[in-house]
Amino acid sequence: MSWSGWVAGVVAGVSLGQSPTALDAVRLHKPDAAALARAELTACVAKQCEDAGRLALLAATLTLSDGQAAEARELLAAWPAPPLLAPYHAFYLGQARFYAGDAAGAAKDFERVLTSNPPAHLASRARARLGESLLKAGQAKEAAQVLEDAAKASPTVELLYQRAQARGASGNPAGQRADLMTVALRFPTHPYGEEAMAWLTQTRTPPVKLGFTERSTRAERFLDAGATQRGLDELAALDGVKLDKTQAARVALLRARAWFALGKSAEADKALALARKGPAAVAAQADLLVARRALRSDDNDTARKLMAALDQKYPSQAAGDEGAFFAGWLDLQSGRYADAVKAFASFESRYPKSRRRDEGMWFRALAHLRLEEYAKAREALESFLAAYPKSNMGPQARYWMARSRELEGAKKDALGPAYTAVITSAPASFYALMANERLKALGLTPPAHFPHPPKLLKPTRPPELELAMALTRAGLFRDAADEVEAHAGRLRSADQALPFAHALLGLGEYGHAYAVAARHLWGRAFGSREPDALAAFYPRAFASAVEGAAKQHQVDPHLVWAIMRRESAFRPEVMSMADARGLMQIIPKTANAIAEKLAEPVPAPADLFSPERNIRYGAWYLSRLMERFGHPVLAAAAYNAGPSSAAKWAQERGTLPLDLFVETIPFRETRGYVKQVVADLFLYHAFYGDGAGAPQLQLVVPAPTKEGVTF
Q: Provide the sign of the torsion angle of the four alpha carbons 623, 624, 628, 633, taken in this order.
A: negative
pLDDT at site 422: 97
Rg of the chain over all Cα atoms, to the nearest angstrom: 29
pLDDT at position 380 = 97
pLDDT at 408: 95
Q: How confident is the model at residue 4 (pLDDT cuts 50, 70, 90)?
A: very low
Query: What DSSP string runs through 458-511?
Result: -PPPPGGGHHHHHHHHTT-HHHHHHHHHHHHTT--SHHHHHHHHHHHHHHT-HH
Single pTM value for the model: 0.84
Q: What is the DSSP letter of 581?
A: B
- In this prediction, residue 5 carries a pLDDT of 33
Residue 409 has pLDDT above 90, yes or no: yes
Residue 206: asked if its preceding bond is cis (omega within 30°), the reply is yes
Q: Are 639 and 560 in contact (CB under 8 A)?
A: no
13: left (phi > 0), else alpha (psi -120 to 50), else beta?
Answer: left
DSSP classification of residue 119: -
pLDDT higher than threshold 90 for residue 299? no
Q: Does position 60 have pLDDT exceeding 90, yes or no?
A: yes
Pair 208, 175: CB distance under 8 Å: no
Q: What is the mean pLDDT of residues 558-584?
A: 95
Question: pLDDT at residue 14 above 50?
Answer: no
User: What distance in Å separates the CA atoms of residue 603 and residue 31, rounded to the nearest whole number?
Assistant: 12
- In the structure, what pLDDT confidence band is assigned to residue 2 with cuts at 50, 70 and 90? very low
Mean pLDDT calculated for residue range 366-395: 97
CA dihedral 349, 354, 359, 364 (to 10 degrees): -10
Whether residue 12 has pLDDT greater than 50: no
State residue 3's pLDDT score: 33
DSSP lists the bridge partners of residue 700 as 657
HEC letters along 508-550: CCHHHHHHHHHHHCHHHHHHCCCHHHHHHHCCCCCHHHHHHHH
User: Is the confidence at residue 20, as pLDDT, over 80?
Assistant: no
Contact by Cβ (8 Å): 78, 114:
no
Confidence of residue 691 (pLDDT cuts 50, 70, 90): low
The region, left, alpha or beta by phi > 0 then psi within -120 to 50, assigned to residue 475 is left
Least confident of 318-327, 462-471, 696-705: 462-471
Regarding predicted confidence, which is higher, 604 or 363?
363
How far from the centroid of its chain's Cα atoms is residue 496's Cα? Answer: 27
Check residue 606 and give its pLDDT.
85
Amino acid 18: pLDDT: 66
List, in order, residues 6 or more apart from 12 with CB less than 8 Å away. Answer: 43
218: number of Cβ within 10 Å: 25
The mean per-residue pLDDT over the stretch 79-89 comes to 92
What was the pLDDT predicted at 694?
65
**1: helix, strand or coil:** coil
Say if residues 403 and 431 touch (Cβ distance below 8 Å). Answer: no
Report the share of the chain in percent with pLDDT over 70.
97
Least confident range from 231-235, 427-431, 469-473, 500-504: namely: 469-473
What integer pLDDT is reported at residue 360 of this predicted model?
97
pLDDT at 123: 95
37 band by pLDDT with thresholds 50, 70 and 90: confident
Of 24-28, 70-74, 441-445, 458-462, the poorest mean pLDDT is in 24-28
Distance CA 13, CA 35 (A): 15
pLDDT confidence of residue 462 = 82
Mean residue pLDDT across the chain: 93
Ramachandran angles phi, psi of 575, nearest 5°: -135, 135
- Rounded Cα gap, residues 625 and 3, in angstroms: 47
* pLDDT of 483 above 70: yes
CA distance 370 to 338: 9
Contacts of 277 (CB under 8 A, 6+ apart): 245, 249, 283
State the average pLDDT over residues 80-97: 95
Express each pLDDT in 440-467 by its tens digit. 999 999 999 999 999 999 877 788 889 9
SS3 sequence of 163-193: HHHHHHHCCCHHHHHHHHHHHHHHCCCCHHH
Rounded Cα gap, residues 333 and 340, in angstroms: 9
Hey, what amino acid is at 284? A
Question: What is the 3-class SS of 367-387, one letter each residue?
Answer: HHHHCCCHHHHHHHHHHHHHH
